[in-house]
């Protein structure tokens, strides 16, 4: 088995390789793991600079279409040029981009096999690349944030409800909060608006990912809902969820690591029947 491994925002491939060592100790020794760095610089993830040296990287910065498409194409080019890969093991933002690619490629080219299985670790939700965008804007003098939906040109999403409260909608999970948190920085830099992508959500979308998947979720993770919602758009017949008591991190407990490894082997076995 050969896996492409994608790190989270504000880390790098060497950090992920170190973080995965305890899990890999429970996996077959003949499996191969290739690690890919993001191309954008980023602030270090919380506390990571106290443990690991930089550079600190990400696959995309703000969830704006151009940056996410660049991340999408970077990873897809590696898959096409250096693959094939049997699966992907991805953490946080890396998991979101991987899931975005798997879901979108399955939609536009159902015969394509980007990956045969996926392992999502502390994932954030993937983006719907064809659903249009949301323009977020501040007046600059008041605290009011406005959100205006930008309709796509394709017909599938042309009837989206114009009365949606996009500031509260599940498809903007995390994006609105992060934009609000950066309000002072954005306004001081002269940036008062941003056009962001919408996310998938199981209350809106049906199954988008049909390959075997493993979802590892920390119960104390601020993004735990993202992980559960990602599992909600994956085929439940070939999906397993492993939870641990930690936060936005890989599990450390030997029992949970063994359980995660067993779930990954289960997913690998499922690929033989698909």
Q: Spell out the residues 6+ positions from residue 217 whose beta carbon is closer than 8 angstroms to its own.
A: 122, 123, 224, 227, 228, 241, 242, 243, 244
Bridge partners, residue 118, by sequence: 88, 213
Torsional class of 168: left (φ above 0), alpha (ψ -120 to 50), beta (otherwise): alpha
Bridge partners, residue 233, by sequence: none
Strand 87-91 to 117-121 pairing: parallel
Does residue 46 sit in the same domain as residue 142?
no
C-beta separation of 57 from 11 below 8 A: yes
DSSP tag of 95: H
- On whether the pTM is more than 0.85, the answer is yes
DSSP tag of 237: G
Kind and range of the H or E element at 17? helix 13-24
pLDDT digits (tens, 9 = 90+) for 247-269: 999 999 999 999 999 999 999 99
C-beta separation of 91 from 7 below 8 A: yes
C-beta separation of 218 from 122 below 8 A: yes
Backbone angles phi, psi at 239, to 5 degrees: -135, 140
Does residue 22 sit in the same domain as residue 105?
yes
The 3-state secondary structure of 69-85 reads HHHHHHHHHHHHHHCCC
- Confidence at residue 179, expressed as pLDDT on a 0 to 100 scale: 80
**The domain boundary residue, chosen from 146, 167, 197:** 197
> Nearest 5 degrees, angle CA 217-CA 83-CA 64?
55
How many separate domains does the chain show?
Answer: 2
- Confidence at residue 97, expressed as pLDDT on a 0 to 100 scale: 98
* Average confidence score pLDDT of the chain: 91
- Confidence at residue 246, expressed as pLDDT on a 0 to 100 scale: 96
Q: Mean pLDDT for each 10-residue chunk of the chain (274 residues)?
A: 97 97 97 98 91 94 94 97 96 98 92 92 96 84 78 63 83 82 66 87 94 97 96 97 96 96 98 81
Does residue 209 sit in the same domain as residue 77?
yes
Tokens of 7: 């790190």
Does residue 44 sit in the same domain as residue 11?
yes
- Confidence at residue 176, expressed as pLDDT on a 0 to 100 scale: 83
**The domain boundary residue, chosen from 157, 181, 197:** 197
Kind and range of the H or E element at 244? strand 239-244
* Residue 186 belongs to domain spanning: 133-197
Does residue 75 sit in the same domain as residue 208?
yes
pLDDT digits (tens, 9 = 90+) for 64-77: 999 999 999 999 99
**The domain boundary residue, chosen from 146, 164, 197:** 197
């Amino acid at each position: 088995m050969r896996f492409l491994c994608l790190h989270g925002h504000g880390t790098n491939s060497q950090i992920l390789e170190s973080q995965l060592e305890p899990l890999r100790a429970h996996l077959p020794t003949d499996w191969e793991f290739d690690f890919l760095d993001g191309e954008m610089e980023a602030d270090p993830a919380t506390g990571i600079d106290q443990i690991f040296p930089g550079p600190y990287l990400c696959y995309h910065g703000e969830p704006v279409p151009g940056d996410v498409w660049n991340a999408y194409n970077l990873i897809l080019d590696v898959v096409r040029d250096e693959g094939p890969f049997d699966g992907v093991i991805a953490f946080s933002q890396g998991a979101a981009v991987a899931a975005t690619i798997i879901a979108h490629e399955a939609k536009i080219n159902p015969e394509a096999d980007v990956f045969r299985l996926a392992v999502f670790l502390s994932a954030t939700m993937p983006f719907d690349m064809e659903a249009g965008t949301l323009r977020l804007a501040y007046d600059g003098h008041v605290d009011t944030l406005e959100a205006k939906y930008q309709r796509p040109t394709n017909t599938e999403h042309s009837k989206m409800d114009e009365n949606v409260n996009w500031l509260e909608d599940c498809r903007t999970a995390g994006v609105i909060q992060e934009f609000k948190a950066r309000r002072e920085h954005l306004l001081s830099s002269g940036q008062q608006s941003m056009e962001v992508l919408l996310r998938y959500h199981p209350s809106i979308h049906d199954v988008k990912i049909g390959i075997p998947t493993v979802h590892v979720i920390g119960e104390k993770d601020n993004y735990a809902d993202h992980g559960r919602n990602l599992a909600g758009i994956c085929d439940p017949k070939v999906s397993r969820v492993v939870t641990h008591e930690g936060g936005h991190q890989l599990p450390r407990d030997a029992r949970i690591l063994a359980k995660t490894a067993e779930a990954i082997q289960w997913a690998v076995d499922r690929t033989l029947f698909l």
